[in-house]
Amino acid sequence: MAQFESQNETKGFYKLSWLQRIGFGSGDLAQNLIFQTTCMYLLFFYTDIYGLDAVDVSVMFTVGNVANVIWDPIVGALIDKHNPTLGKYRAYLVYVGIPLSGFAILCFWNGFAPSLLYAYVTYIAMTLLYTFINVPYGALNSSLTRDTNEITILTSVRMFMANCGGLAVGSGLPLLIAYFTDEQVEGLPKDPGAWFTTMTIYALVGLLLLLFCFTQCKERVVMNAEESANVKVSDLWMEFFHNRPLRIIAFFFITAFAMMSIGNAAGAYFMNCNMHGTSEQLSIFMGLGSAPSFIFMPLVPMIKRAIGKKNMFYVFLSIAIIGMAFLYIVAKMDAPSMTLVYVAQFVKSTGVIVATGYMWALVPEVISYGEYKSGKRIAGIVNALTGIFFKAGMTLGSVVAPAILAYVAYNPKSVEQTPFAEEGILWLVCVIPAVLLVLAMFIISRYELTDDVIDEINMEIEKRETADAIN
């Protein structure tokens, strides 16, 4: 048995302990304490607390995401080309984790309000540093093992823990802000000190989790030093043009992240303006955006084995669309029931969480496909590309949400919004995301890498490497 495990180890099909799986997943939990906070609440913070105009925020978000489109390939090539002593990919969790946490805190500081320059500097610095964590972290997944079943488990654990972060932000942040303020208001408090204190706690906890992830992960399936030295930024475009499965998930990522960006940014406005909810009700609503992960993400390996990964995408994307339609109908009632709103949010979130969570398991597949075709396992480059894809989706979302708010004349100083403004917010929460999910279903239908194909590709790669070692 020991001999068999040793042979398996040399082939790259490693099995990980649960501590290693949880350690890897803690990295995404850490990132989501920052990422989800910016997605769900930064627009609200800038317009309603910091005092910026929605159009100015839209332009700033767009500039930041465009800067990241340039920055992503540079980061991808850098991490593929170099081999830090602390680990090819995991080293950046330490090197970049500290400044990332610092700038995330500064984004929610009101000291220079309403200085647009300060907002630009802190926001763009935070997004560039986030990329410098997210790209190597994504590459770390494919460096731990080639085993497709293990990658499915890893992805399930990762997304389970990422949604723990989403729950901590969506549900926990409104409660913490309310705890740290003396304001007695309807909806989300606007006390700048309470927001700053809350973000400080989240960022510091995130830093500790990044350090824990670093201690539990070790890169095993990576390029050798000679191959690393030959990596160039231009490899990114060569990989994109020659890797058809990568191009397919590119458009899926763009569509999925645009959907999430728009829906997440509108959640606080929906509960504040359309539903006139309290901080506790907002906490429940936003928390339900992550809660289904605790039920369904552990079941993903079993569901995938039962119906296949394509059918799994179809089923859960359809569930998300049904949930959005239900939420729209409930919100249009004369006296909408908050219970029905919660049910609709749970149904919608169930579909979104599983479909967008499992898409990360496709990234190691396209990395292996690219290695099979080109002979280079440029995990950093591929994850830089996926970074560009989801930044493109985020850019689309960051433009659409503030633009719609400006178009419908949303007034942050008014408790009661016009019916036109409330309808615009409802479109951001339900209608536009549903249309994007229909498009996502069509895109994923074009994906051709089945589990059997990927297993054959990985076995062939290992045979090549064994033959090269003998020769």
* Residue 402 confidence (pLDDT): 85
Residue 83 exposed, middle or buried by CB count within 10 Å (0-12, 13-18, 19+): middle
Higher-confidence residue of 3 and 389: namely 389
CA distances to 117, 126, 235, 456 from 112, rounded to whole Å, are 9, 17, 42, 57
Question: What does the alpha-carbon distance between residue 24 and residue 160 come to, in Å, rounded to a whole number?
Answer: 11
Residue 161 lies in a domain: yes
Query: Which is higher by pLDDT, 33 or 395?
Result: 33
**Range 346-352 average pLDDT:** 95
Does 3 fall in a domain?
no
**pLDDT above 70 covers what percent of the chain?**
93
* pLDDT tens digits, one per residue of 69-127: 888 888 888 888 888 889 989 999 999 999 999 999 999 999 999 999 999 999 999 99
Greater confidence (345 vs 458) lies with 345
Asked whether residue 10 is assigned to any structural domain, the reply reads: no
pLDDT at 227: 64
Nearest to 359, CA basis, from 140, 69, 155, 72: 155
The predicted structure's pLDDT at residue 7? 42
Mapped onto helix, strand or coil, the DSSP state of residue 193 is: helix
- Could you tell me if residue 106 is inside a domain? yes
Residue 200: inside a domain: yes
Residue 277 lies in a domain: yes
For residue 459, the model assigns a pLDDT of: 87
Q: How far is CA 84 from CA 81, 93, 96, 97, 215, in A?
A: 10, 12, 13, 15, 15
Average pLDDT of the segment spanning 423-431: 94
Residue 6's pLDDT is 43
- Domain residues for 91? 19-470
Count of structural domains within the chain: 1
Report yes or no: 23 and 212 within 8 Å, Cβ to Cβ: yes
d(C-alpha 78, C-alpha 43), whole Å = 31
> Domain with 169 in it: what CATH number?
1.20.1250.20
Whether the predicted pLDDT of 1 surpasses 70: no
- CB atoms < 10 A from the CB of 20, how many? 18
Confidence of residue 242 (pLDDT cuts 50, 70, 90): confident
pLDDT tens digits for range 116-173: 999 999 999 999 999 899 889 988 888 888 888 888 899 889 988 988 998 899 889 9
pLDDT band at 2 (very low <50, low <70, confident <90, very high): very low
What pLDDT score does 245 carry? 92
Residue 2 resides in a domain: no
Residue 280: is its pLDDT beyond 90?
Answer: no
Please compute the mean of the pLDDT values over residues 432-437 and round it to a whole number. 96
Q: Look at residue 417 and tell me if it is in a domain.
A: yes
